[in-house]
Amino acid sequence: MNKKILGVMLSAALAASMCVPAFADDAAKKVGVSMPTKDLQRWNQDGANMEEQLKAAGFEVELQYASNEVDQQQKQIETMINNGASVLIIAAIEGSSLGTQLQMAKDNDIPVIAYDRLLMDSDAVSYYATFDNYMVGTVQGNYIVDALDLENAEGPFNLEVTAGDPGDNNARYFYQGAIDVLQPYIDAGKLVIPSGQLEFTDVATPTWGTDVAQKRAEDILSSFYADGTNIDVWLCSNDSTALGVENALAANYNGNYPVITGQDCDIENTKNMIAGKQSMSVFKDTRTLAAQVVKMVGQILNGEEVDVNDTETYNNNVITVPSYLCEPVFADVNNYEELLVESGYYTADQLA
């Protein structure tokens, strides 16, 4: 069979399987996809899935990564607009730093989808597609409640907290979801925090950097645990920060190994889960999110009603952005094979 026909058939089959409305216009429309960085594993997956699925649905794609540099992302978005993008999909480095570019998109009638992270302080955001960020936190919090049997055990257990980047609107949702679950046990004295650091601003990790999280964890371990005090649980908002904590523990701690949470099922962290160095992660299947966003793009460009399932939660300080929230899934050493390997997300070799 001729390659082009095969390609069209595959695109049609994929589009049908994802319920992407066939694109009405004959000319391929260009979609600009702006990702924050190639440094963290998840954005590479997001970018690759998005590119593959958009192309399969018949769109032209301009995909750019911004090295976690805000001005680079600003320039890349401006270029996408100048290159004639019909829709922009943006995962912001810093949610509130793209006002000028968003206004520029609006002036050019280009709809903008905030991808995974909400775009803040602008009315030029058409839709938001993400995972339920608060639920990510509650999954982590509930895991800790079960792992330490906080309902029944007397404790007290020593807890430390490492949260995400204050420039990322998601970070507070993850944090709050987990803290809302844990707060009653903190109030009851079952969980105590030897460092005394619990406020979001005290536990945040600018840039989500592994090195940043590691440095803070090293400081905490040397100041509060060097005398042999055990740490029972370290709530980490995601995998890049969990990795920093795990590195710090490996080099600076000899006590009982704590319960550690994470998010994303990054390869390094999944390996650590298998090796018993991380207790759980939250799996956000980036294929699901990409499929949802591709569907949105098709609906927007076809002038159809756009699927959303939340019109109340995500206010960006100017408007409440209609959102589609995908469901995050709990992952640990017992279900990772089914979730990550059998589903084709990773090969067994990648985790070996």
x/- letters, 250..289, toward ligand BGC (CB under 6 A): -------------xx-------------------x-----
Of the two residues 122 and 240, which places its CB atom closer to ligand BGC in the complex? 240
Spatial separation of the C-alpha atoms in residues 57 and 53, rounded to whole Å: 6
DSSP element (H, E) containing 186: helix 169-187
Residues forming a β-bridge with 260: 234
**Pairing outcome for strands 329-332 and 30-35:** unpaired
Query: CB 251 → ligand BGC: shortest distance, Å?
Result: 23
Query: CB 346 → ligand BGC: shortest distance, Å?
Result: 16
Residue type, 341: V
Of the two residues 42 and 287, which places its CB atom closer to ligand BGC in the complex? 42
Spatial separation of the C-alpha atoms in residues 136 and 144, rounded to whole Å: 13
Point out the residue whose Cβ comes nearest to ligand BGC: 238
Query: CB 298 → ligand BGC: shortest distance, Å?
Result: 24
Residues 114-133 within binding reach of ligand BGC (CB under 6 A) = 116-117
Of the two residues 101 and 170, which places its CB atom closer to ligand BGC in the complex? 170
Query: CB 43 → ligand BGC: shortest distance, Å?
Result: 7
Residues forming a β-bridge with 87: 31
- Go through the chain and tell me how many residues it has: 352
Of the candidate residues 51, 132, 168, 285, the single one contacting ligand BGC (CB under 6 A): 168
Nearest to 67 by CA among 243, 207, 255: 207
Query: CB 232 → ligand BGC: shortest distance, Å?
Result: 24
Concatenated DSSP letters for 24-74? SSSSPPEEEEEES-SSSHHHHHHHHHHHHHHHHTT-EEEEEE-TT-HHHHH
Residues 33-72 within binding reach of ligand BGC (CB under 6 A) = 40, 42
Of the two residues 32 and 164, which places its CB atom closer to ligand BGC in the complex? 164
Of the two residues 238 and 323, which places its CB atom closer to ligand BGC in the complex? 238
Of the candidate residues 170, 195, 205, 281, the single one contacting ligand BGC (CB under 6 A): 170
Number of residues engaging ligand BGC in binding (CB under 6 A)? 12
Residues 225-254 within binding reach of ligand BGC (CB under 6 A) = 238, 240
* 97, two tokens: 């730093």
Query: CB 44 → ligand BGC: shortest distance, Å?
Result: 11
208 binds ligand BGC, rule: CB under 6 A = yes
In the sheet where 259-260 sits, what is the strand order?
Answer: 191-192, 157-162, 233-236, 259-260
Q: Is residue 279 helix, strand or coil?
A: coil
* 160, two tokens: 């430390």
Spatial separation of the C-alpha atoms in residues 299 and 280, rounded to whole Å: 36
Residues at the contact surface with ligand BGC, assessed by CB under 6 A: 40, 42, 116-117, 168, 170, 208, 238, 240, 263-264, 284
